[in-house]
Amino acid sequence: MPSVIFSHQAPGLALKIKFPKKVDGTALCIGTIVPDLTSVIDFLLPFSLRGISHSLLGLLYYTIPLSLILMLIFRIHIGPFLARTAKKEGRLSKSLNYLGMETWDKLKNKKYNRKSILVAIYSALIGGITHILLDLPSHEYVELFFPFLIFKVPSILLYSIVQSQTYNLTIYELIWMIESLVALVFAIYFLRYIKKYDLINKWYEEI
């Protein structure tokens, strides 16, 4: 997986900027994270959710429901907390402010109706699909059709570029690194763009 801290959200942020009224940015960005939350959840379970979380079946039964729950938690608690922190003095606050998080308290103003819930559902779905697409060339196994079929990526992606007794770097791992770096740069750019044009305030004034 490319790093889920900001990098996976780059496509979601781009879609929100391009189509602000047609997608739910919070649900979309959380949907890009949820498939990899199994890294935490699996510690609490006697089995792994990795396969289902990165499958088409998992988009419906795992990604969408969990994304909607986390979306509400983020809007009510996490977003406002980050906004309060960004408005304080300190090194962490400056970093959060740089990314425009001082306006994230506006997220709790979101009003819900049948249409907004439908938008949130398909936005979470788009986020999950985005995650899976980013993962396809950067992992050894493709779990898209789990539990019916799991297959390896093309053998060329398994080729070792760097190999030693203690370290092995394959092409798919190199793709993972490049994806992470490029997507992170774009995510920061989009967050700065949203801050520069005060888009969060504009979006939530229109609600």
pLDDT at 130 exceeding the cut of 70: yes
- At residue 4 the predicted structure's pLDDT band, cuts being 50, 70 and 90, is low
Residue 2 lies in a domain: no
Query: Residue 185 and residue 177: Cα distance in Å, rounded?
Result: 13
Q: Output the six-digit token pair for 177.
A: 């690194």
0.85 exceeded by the pTM?
yes
Residue 117 lies in a domain: yes
Query: Residue 137 and residue 141: Cα distance in Å, rounded?
Result: 9
Report how many domains make up the chain: 1
Query: Which residues, 6+ apart, have CB-to-CB distance to 164 below 8 Å?
Result: none
CA nearest to 128, candidates 76, 77, 67, 174: 67
Residue 1 lies in a domain: no
Q: Is the peptide bond before 147 cis (omega within 30 degrees of 0)?
A: yes
Q: Output the six-digit token pair for 43.
A: 């510690």
Residue 153 lies in a domain: yes
Residue 144 lies in a domain: yes
How many residues belong to the chain?
207
Residue 155 lies in a domain: yes
Query: Residue 148 and residue 172: Cα distance in Å, rounded?
Result: 23
Q: Domain range spanning residue 73?
A: 7-205
Q: Quick check: helix, strand or coil at residue 75? A: helix
pLDDT at 1 exceeding the cut of 80: no
Residue 12 lies in a domain: yes
pLDDT tens column, 10-24: 999 999 999 999 999
pLDDT at 114 exceeding the cut of 60: yes
Query: Residue 134 and residue 114: Cα distance in Å, rounded?
Result: 31
CA nearest to 132, candidates 57, 27, 35: 35
Query: Residue 37 and residue 30: Cα distance in Å, rounded?
Result: 10
Comparing 29 with 50, the larger pLDDT belongs to 29
pLDDT tens column, 155-201: 999 999 998 888 899 999 999 999 999 999 999 999 999 999 999 99
Task: For Cα atoms 197, 178, 196, give the angle at the middle one, nearest 5 degrees.
Answer: 5
Residue 188 lies in a domain: yes
Compute the mean pLDDT over every residue in the chain, rounded to the nearest whole number.
Answer: 93
The residue-averaged pLDDT of 117-145 equals 94
